[in-house]
Structure formats: structure tokens, C-alpha cells
Amino acid sequence: METRAHHVLIGTFTLLVVTAGLLFVLWLGKSSVDHAYAYYDVVFNESVTGLSKGGMVQYNGIKVGQVANLRLDPRDPRKVIARIQVGSDTPVKLDTHARLGLLGLTGVAFIQLTGGSPGSPPLRASGDEHVPVIVADNSELSKLLNSGEDIATNTNEILLRIQSLLSASNVARVNATLKHLDESTAVVAAERAQMRQTLQQMALASTRLSDALGKLDHLAGTTDTLVSTQGKATLQSAQASLRAFQQMSTQLAALIARNRGALAAGSQGAAELGPTLRQLQQTLRDLDALSAHLRHDPAAYLLGRDAAKEYHPQ
């Protein structure tokens, strides 16, 4: 009995030593792992579709770790907490940002860490937190996934409109329009020679019109010169004649007034005065005609020809 009891004690002691050794090895391994890696909780306020345990963690495009665990926030199920495991030498700063990224076109999501200025202190756990916490920024991937339903709806509406636009009636109208356009083009091509001739005639008429306008402008300048020189002198002469006639009329009236008695008494005085009065009347009519001509068309009267007619293009 004593021998059996002794063996039991030896076996128990041996088992305890082996267990303690295993625990010591595990403690050393955990300690080395803890010293080799650092852990952070990244809080997402959006869906993390495509992200899974073991997903890649990058810092400015360089892989620095992986996703160790994914879970919902027990206090707010709208939030997702991703615990990441990165190298202990990863410089996660207080101003480091995190967001969800998409790896190529595979649909696999990963966590992208960015920022971290040199003067910023390292990120530490605060309060009752077991590990430091990083609140992730909203990503373009999440916006795209959230708006996927709207994009699909809009795409469906666009396809329906395109289908309505390409209906049989609209296609027939387009074909008819193209046919009419083809016929119009053929008519224009057939009348090309006549159109060219018409354009040439229009160009020639434009040239002639330009020449006629130049001649008319020259004639107007010449007429203005004549009117301003010879016409002015003629008008001045006519004005002088009118003034002389007015003076003569005044003198004649005075003469008649002074010799009214003698004229009434003798027929000889009347006979001598009659031709003078007729001559004065004729002179008055000539001066009136001259004045009328000058007022109506001084250029034609002075130049002795008809005034230039205006040219109206047909």
C-alpha cells in the first residue's frame, strides 16, 4: 500500500510539473505575441459588406495587419466593431483615420488606415476601454452600396424610356424623315448647276449695284459742289434782282402817286406809261418763274438737265 501511495504522489507531482511547464510556455508565447502585435477597435457607423475575419489592414497602402474579430456593438447594433491586429511598430497616431476600402473588382473589403502627423501622440486606450478605439470615416464604397437600389431603379427607368423611344412608330417616323431628307438632297444635287448660275448672277448684280451706287455718290458730290458754288451765285443774283425790282416798284408807286392828277388829265401820259407797266409785269413773271425753278430743283435748272433717278435693285 505504501508503495502504491508513493507512486501516486510521484505521478501527481509529475503531472503538476508538466502542466505548469505548459502554462509557462503558453504565457511566454502570449507575452511574445502581445509584444509583437497591437490591437485597436475600429468602429463603423455603416455596413461593412465584404469585410470578414482575417481581412487585410493597410496603412497608407501598406499591409500592416489583419482583422482579428468582427462584432456588433451591444449598445448600438447599427454600429460594427472590427478589432484589428497590427504590428506593434505601426505608428497609429491620435489623428489616424480609418475607412472601408474595396480591393480591386473582387468585392473583398479591407480597412485602410491613413493620416497620422509626426507631431501627433500615439493612440492610447482611455477610460474603461480595453484597447484604443478609432471611429471610421464614411467611405465612398458604403455610399455606392447604399445607393445601389436607386441606381438600379434609375437604370430601369432609362431602359424603359429608351425602349419607348425605339418603338415601331418612332422608328417608322425616323425612316420617313431620312427618306425625305434623301429626296431633298437629291433635288438639291440636281439643281446644283442652276443654283450656281443664280449665285453668279446675284454676284454680278451686286457688282453692278456697287458701281451704280459709286456713280450716284459721285454725281451727288458734283451736284452739291455746283449748288454750293454756281447755284449760290445765281441765288444771290436773283435776290439782288428782286431787291432792285422792289425798289423800282416803290419808286413807280411814288411816281404814280405824285402824277396821279396829270395821268388822269392826259391820255398821252397814260400811253407812255402803259408799255412801262407791261414790261414791269413781264419782268415780275420771269422772276417768279426763276424763283420757282430754283426752289424746286436748283441742280437741274443750273445744269440744264434732268435730275439723276434713284437706282432700285430688282
**135-165, pLDDT tens digit by residue?**
999 877 666 656 656 677 778 888 888 878 7
Same domain (yes/no): 92, 68: yes
- The domain boundary, picked from 130, 146, 162, lies at 146
pLDDT digits (tens, 9 = 90+) for 17-48: 778 777 766 765 555 555 589 999 999 998 88
Q: What angle do CA 76, 81, 87 make, to 5 degrees?
A: 160
Same domain (yes/no): 136, 171: no
Residue 2 lies in a domain: no
Same domain (yes/no): 226, 299: yes
pLDDT confidence of residue 308 = 47
pLDDT confidence of residue 215 = 74
Residue 312 lies in a domain: no
Same domain (yes/no): 91, 161: no
* Mean pLDDT to the nearest integer, 231-257: 69
Same domain (yes/no): 172, 224: no
Which residue, chain included where needed, has cell 458754288? 229
Same domain (yes/no): 135, 162: no
Residue 1 lies in a domain: no
Same domain (yes/no): 141, 157: no
Same domain (yes/no): 55, 130: yes
Q: Which pLDDT band, with edges at 50, 70 and 90, does 220 fall under?
A: low
Same domain (yes/no): 102, 48: yes
Beta carbons of 94 and 122 less than 8 angstroms apart? yes
Same domain (yes/no): 232, 299: yes
Nearest to residue 46, comparing CAs of 160, 176, 144? 144
CA atoms within 13 A on the CB side of 28: 6
Across 48-57, 253-262, 298-307, least confident range: 298-307
* Mean pLDDT to the nearest integer, 65-82: 93
174: containing domain: 150-189
- Look over the chain and give the mean of its residue pLDDT values, rounded to a whole number: 75
DSSP 131: S
Count how many domains the chain has: 3
Same domain (yes/no): 178, 106: no
Q: At what angle do helices 267-296 and 232-258 cross, to 10 degrees?
A: 160
pLDDT digits (tens, 9 = 90+) for 130-143: 899 999 998 776 66
Q: Torsion angle, CA of 272/274/279/285, rounded to 10 degrees? A: 170
Residue 7 lies in a domain: no
Paired residues of 111 in beta bridges:
57, 100
Q: Grid coordinates representing 259?
A: 402824277
d(CA 63, CA 51): 15
Q: How many helices (H) and strands (E) does the chain have?
A: 9, 7
